[in-house]
């Protein structure tokens, strides 16, 4: 039988053994956190923006001046151009000349490590009272892993990385050292660098301004003895140094102009705001979770027992600067999807604090005891799984993004073949139409001869009206022909995965010939058919990483295998291309002798589907053959979006609305951001409501129309359908303004206009 003293000794030994394990586990988790940050940064080059930025850096070094007008396009050559990122561009140009352009992602890795370092410093500083708890460090690291998962979509090697880093440094310095005069004067120096690196430099002024405002409020309200004069002086100096740049005093108002562009630039989903469908992605819900946890933490402070009223107690305990920071960065994050990471940076210390308080509260109110060893072990395991999933690319597959681990240039993501073709045929100095995604790499690779039609400098160079005309050219070939008459293009370069309507128009136009094709891009040269340059069909080439890049890749994953794009089934890719431009016979011919995989069965299905439309006498045979092939493709690849879409189209053509709707709903499940999937699903439910009088499907019709309207705003046809659907739901308050807006649109038929008038009359809106 154990005595009481023996029990105490036994418990002490158990606790000692537990403590012995916890410290190594915490250290392992911390190392893993930084390693995960590094490998998340080491990606194959995908961002097209980097190419025009590299081209600009090269131009600055070659010309020993910073451009103040456009030097890269033939459409707006000489137009005023305020290029804030010139410092970043020169920096990466110098680095890539020494180590290769893959080194840009090594810079990102170093910045990510610095970002995590300052985040941990700030979190620890703000949570000092809890750091004596054994589980505290493990929980901090666990939250930091969640932060990386929430922010990984913006760890992409772009100049915004420095804005992320400067944001945390500014907040840390102002939180930690605002009363230590010498260190606070680092802020104007950092602000000067920031101003010449990235357009989000105005964020630094906002951060300092918030702390200055809060300091003066504390001085007057809480009767602080010392005025925050040094902090105020650092703030004023930070504003002054903004003008130390190639564009002088113009930069003082530039942040306001940049912020206004967010509401104008609708041409990239990363600028979508909280009112759009594209904004609400997985990372958005991570940030929303951070915000909710922080808000709950603020409520617990407000309702703590205190002699002060709840609001005053909250302000005094949580601090004015913190409240204003959260409000300001929530507004920033709501304005554009790409800004969510800034809010994550601001919220993380408060998320940790809220969780700490919750654990302590549970511990005091119940018999629950925090399992220190379990939390430490869980955190280390999360780090190990996170790391392995990234370097094996499982993380990217699960999140359905096209990034891959490893420093490498991939011809599957950059139009290297098209650049070689244009140069080999002396087309690089001609007037060429390029889509905005392909243009940047061509600009970098073919400089100085090549000039762009449009590129990813966006509204900094090209006006909104020009972008609208460009967007019309992608959707309507007649609009492209108007541009062609104005500029007299010699050729057109178009990515295969985008702008299908433009490709179909060019392929069928008598003035253009498809002269180059690879699985990424196609080039149409203006010449008579079968004359001039013969069609060159090219497989993608592998580009060997530099020695430096190879060493880095293998250090973090000894089993790393570079992407081998030559393994791409070229005939299948070519057949898919011909399918997209409507040449079904050529598509079928290309896969006649191919292995019977999912893509081949899909192509066969599309061929039979097209034959059913062309040969009505054998329609049933061709439709049945198409359905058999498409179902086989789905069996081989259960997430084959295009196969589901084709099955839905066959069913819809036959009037089988319920069966068709099931296929299109599956498409929406696989790719919720696909506009056509929602539009066609809506067509199915519209048919059920109108033809079958099945009003139970009306809510689903409205849902898909609402999503479509968010994804493609101001489309009169979508709006007309949505207005009529709202009317059928009895929601005149929603129906009337939409139908009033579109009822006079020339594209509506007489019958549609009469329907709109009927709805408005019965809603009292006419």
Distances (CA, A) of 468 to 185, 203, 336, 474: 45, 30, 20, 10
pLDDT tens by residue, 220-253: 887 666 888 899 999 999 999 999 999 988 888 8
Report how far residue 50's alpha carbon sits from residue 455's, in angstroms, rounded to the nearest whole number: 12
Helix axes 732-742, 750-763, angle to 10 degrees: 140
Q: Which two tokens stand for residue 471?
A: 């967007």
pLDDT, position 366? 63
Report how far residue 84's alpha carbon sits from residue 250's, in angstroms, rounded to the nearest whole number: 11
Contacts of 592 by beta carbon, 8 Å cutoff, 6+ apart: none
For residue 486, count CB atoms less than 10 angstroms from its CB and return exposed for 0-12, middle for 13-18, buried for 19 or more. exposed
pLDDT tens by residue, 481-528: 999 999 999 999 999 877 888 999 999 998 999 989 888 899 999 986
| Triad 177, 181, 186: Cα angle to 5° | 75
Do the Cβ atoms of 646 and 626 come closer than 8 Å? yes
Q: Which two tokens stand for residue 745?
A: 């649109």
Q: Residue 337: which of 253, 265, 441 has the closest Cα?
A: 265
Q: Residue 666: which of 645, 646, 689 has the closest Cα?
A: 645
Which residues are 409's β-sheet partners? 45
pLDDT, position 64? 95
pLDDT, position 262? 56
Helix axes 732-742, 716-728, angle to 10 degrees: 150
pLDDT, position 9? 39
Do the Cβ atoms of 650 and 631 come closer than 8 Å? no
| Strand ranges, E, within 124-176 | none
Which residues are 69's β-sheet partners? 80
Contacts of 249 by beta carbon, 8 Å cutoff, 6+ apart: 243
Residue 604, Cα to own-chain centre: how many angstroms? 34
Do the Cβ atoms of 507 and 524 come closer than 8 Å? yes
Do the Cβ atoms of 741 and 729 come closer than 8 Å? no
Contacts of 725 by beta carbon, 8 Å cutoff, 6+ apart: 686, 689, 698, 701, 702, 705
Q: Which two tokens stand for residue 247?
A: 């564009």
Q: Residue 633: which of 594, 683, 590 has the closest Cα?
A: 594
pLDDT, position 313? 58
Q: For the chain, what are the domain ranges?
A: 21-364+376-398, 416-539, 572-763
Give the chain's residues under pLDDT 70: 1-19, 179, 223-225, 258-269, 302-318, 365-371, 528-535, 566-569, 692, 765-766
Contacts of 489 by beta carbon, 8 Å cutoff, 6+ apart: 431, 432, 433, 453, 483, 526
Q: Sheet containing 521-526: which strands, arranged edge to edge?
A: 432-434, 491-495, 521-526, 512-517, 536-537
Report how far residue 215's alpha carbon sits from residue 17's, in angstroms, rounded to the nearest whole number: 47
CATH of domain 572-763: 1.25.40.10
Element (H, E) at 536: strand 536-537
Q: Say whether 87 sits in a helix, a strand or coil.
A: helix
Contacts of 117 by beta carbon, 8 Å cutoff, 6+ apart: none
Do the Cβ atoms of 490 and 527 come closer than 8 Å? no
Q: Mind giving me the DSSP string for 556-610?
A: H-TT-----GGGS-HHHHHHHHHHHTT-HHHHHHHTTTS---HHHHHHHHHHHHH
Contacts of 280 by beta carbon, 8 Å cutoff, 6+ apart: 274
Do the Cβ atoms of 267 and 456 come closer than 8 Å? no
Do the Cβ atoms of 406 and 46 come closer than 8 Å? no
Q: Which two tokens stand for residue 271?
A: 């600028």
**Before 397, cis peptide (omega within 30)?**
no
For residue 466, the 8-state DSSP code is H
Report how far residue 20's alpha carbon sits from residue 134's, in angstroms, rounded to the nearest whole number: 11
Report how far residue 269's alpha carbon sits from residue 287's, in angstroms, rounded to the nearest whole number: 18
What predicted TM-score, i.e. pTM, was given to this entire model?
0.86
Do the Cβ atoms of 526 and 586 come closer than 8 Å? no
């Amino acid at each position: 039988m154990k005595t009481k003293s023996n029990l105490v000794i036994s418990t002490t030994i158990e606790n000692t053994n537990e403590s012995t394990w916890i410290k190594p586990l915490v250290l392992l988790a911390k190392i893993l956190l930084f390693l995960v940050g590094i490998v998340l940064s080491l990606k194959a080059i995908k961002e097209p923006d980097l190419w025009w930025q590299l081209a600009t850096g090269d131009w600055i070094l070659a010309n020993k001046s910073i451009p103040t007008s456009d030097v890269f396009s033939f459409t707006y050559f000489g137009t005023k151009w305020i290029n804030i990122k010139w410092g970043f561009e020169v920096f990466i140009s110098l680095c890539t000349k020494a180590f290769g352009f893959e080194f840009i992602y090594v810079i990102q890795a170093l910045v990510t490590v610095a970002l995590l370092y300052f985040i941990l410093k700030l979190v620890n500083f703000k949570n000092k009272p809890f750091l004596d708890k054994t589980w505290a460090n493990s929980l901090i690291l666990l939250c930091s892993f969640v932060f990386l998962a929430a922010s990984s979509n913006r760890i992409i090697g772009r100049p915004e990385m420095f804005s992320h880093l400067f944001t945390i440094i500014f907040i840390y310095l102002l939180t930690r050292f605002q009363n230590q005069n010498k260190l606070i004067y680092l802020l104007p120096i950092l602000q000067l660098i920031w101003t010449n690196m990235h357009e989000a430099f105005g964020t630094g002024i906002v951060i300092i301004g918030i702390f200055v405002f809060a300091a003066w409020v504390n001085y007057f309200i809480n009767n602080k003895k010392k005025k925050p004069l040094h902090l105020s002086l650092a703030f004023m100096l930070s504003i002054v140094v903004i003008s130390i740049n190639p564009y002088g005093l113009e930069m003082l108002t530039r942040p306001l102009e940049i912020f206004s562009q967010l509401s104008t630039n609708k041409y990239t989903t990363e600028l979508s705001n909280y009112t759009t469908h594209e904004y609400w992605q997985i990372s958005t819900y991570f940030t929303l979770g951070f915000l909710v946890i922080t808000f709950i933490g603020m409520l617990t402070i407000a309702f703590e027992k205190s002699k002060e009223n709840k609001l005053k107690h909250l302000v005094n305990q949580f601090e004015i600067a913190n409240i204003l920071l959260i409000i300001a960065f929530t507004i920033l994050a709501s304005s554009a999807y790409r800004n969510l990471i800034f809010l994550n940076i601001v919220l993380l210390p408060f998320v940790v604090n809220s969780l700490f308080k919750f654990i302590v509260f549970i511990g005091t109110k119940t018999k629950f005891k925090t399992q220190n060893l379990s939390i430490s072990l869980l955190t280390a395991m999360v780090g190990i799984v996170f790391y392995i999933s990234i370097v094996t690319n499982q993380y990217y597959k699960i999140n359905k993004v096209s990034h891959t681990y490893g420093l490498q240039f991939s011809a599957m993501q950059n139009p290297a073949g098209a650049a070689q073709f244009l140069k080999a045929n002396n087309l690089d100095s001609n007037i060429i139409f390029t889509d905005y995604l392909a243009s940047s790499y061509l600009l970098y690779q073919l400089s100085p001869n090549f000039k762009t039609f449009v590129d990813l400098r966006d509204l900094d160079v090209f006006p909104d009206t020009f972008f609208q005309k460009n967007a019309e050219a992608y959707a309507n070939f007649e609009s492209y022909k108007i541009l062609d008459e104005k500029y007299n293009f010699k050729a057109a370069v178009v990515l295969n995965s985008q702008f299908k309507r433009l490709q179909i128009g060019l392929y069928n136009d008598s003035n253009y010939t498809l002269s180059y094709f690879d699985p990424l891009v196609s080039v149409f040269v203006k010449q008579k058919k079968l004359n001039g340059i013969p069609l060159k069909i090219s497989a993608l080439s592998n580009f060997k990483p530099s020695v430096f890049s190879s060493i880095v890749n293998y250090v973090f994953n000894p089993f790393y295998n570079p992407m081998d794009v030559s393994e791409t089934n070229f005939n299948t890719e070519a057949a898919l291309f011909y399918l997209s431009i409507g040449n079904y016979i050529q598509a079928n011919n290309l896969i006649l002798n191919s292995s019977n995989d999912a893509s081949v069965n899909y192509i066969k299905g599309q061929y039979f589907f097209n034959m059913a439309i062309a040969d009505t006498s054998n329609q049933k045979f061709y439709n049945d053959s198409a359905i058999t092939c498409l179902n086989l493709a789905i069996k081989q690849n259960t997430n084959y979006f295009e196969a589901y879409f084709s099955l839905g189209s066959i069913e819809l053509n036959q009037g089988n609305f319920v069966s068709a709707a099931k296929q299109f709903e599956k498409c929406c499940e696989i790719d919720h951001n696909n506009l056509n999937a929602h539009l066609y699903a809506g067509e199915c439910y519209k048919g059920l409501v109108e033809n079958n009088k099945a009003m139970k499907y009306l809510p689903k019709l409205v849902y898909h129309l609402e999503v479509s309207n968010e994804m493609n705003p101001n489309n009169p046809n979508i709006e007309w359908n949505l207005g009529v659907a709202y009317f059928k739901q009895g929601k005149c308050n929603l129906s009337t303004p939409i139908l009033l807006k579109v009822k006079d649109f020339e594209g509506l038929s007489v019958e549609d206009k009469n329907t709109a008038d009927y709805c408005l009359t019965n809603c009292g809106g006419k």
